[in-house]
């Protein structure tokens, strides 16, 4: 991951976590509810938000959302939100899924 992209992603990660924790406390954790919040923070970068999944095959529905914000050419702010937890990390692109973490079956 490029140093500049990583620095930008690290700076954004705290804002993302604070905004998503506020959404979580309001019980607003669906992809439709998180997308506009993330898009406001991530301008001009691309955002993906999907339903969480669980299980060995990664196909069983779970409450909450997973997300990825593409930062520059090489960095991501990724994570997930459930009713009990919000997690945010800075990483590079996953080969198969871009900025959204692959399922556990990966």
CB count in 10 Å sphere of residue 42: 19
Of 98, 40, 50, residue with least CA distance to 73:
98
What is the pTM assigned to this prediction? Answer: 0.89
Strands (E), the chain: 47-54, 60-71, 75-81, 86-92
> Which pLDDT score, from 0 to 100, does residue 105 have?
55
pLDDT 10s digits, 53-80: 876 556 777 889 999 999 999 999 999 9
């Amino acid at each position: 991951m490029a140093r500049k992209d990583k620095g930008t992603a690290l700076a954004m990660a705290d804002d993302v976590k604070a905004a998503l924790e506020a959404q979580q406390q309001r019980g607003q954790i669906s992809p439709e509810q998180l997308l506009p919040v993330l898009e406001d923070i991530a301008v001009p970068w691309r955002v993906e938000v999907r339903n969480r999944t669980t299980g060995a095959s990664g196909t069983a529905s779970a409450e909450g959302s997973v997300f990825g914000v593409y930062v520059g050419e090489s960095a991501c702010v990724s994570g997930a939100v459930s009713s009990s937890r919000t997690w945010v990390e800075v990483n590079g692109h996953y080969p198969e899924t871009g900025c959204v973490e692959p399922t556990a079956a990966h």
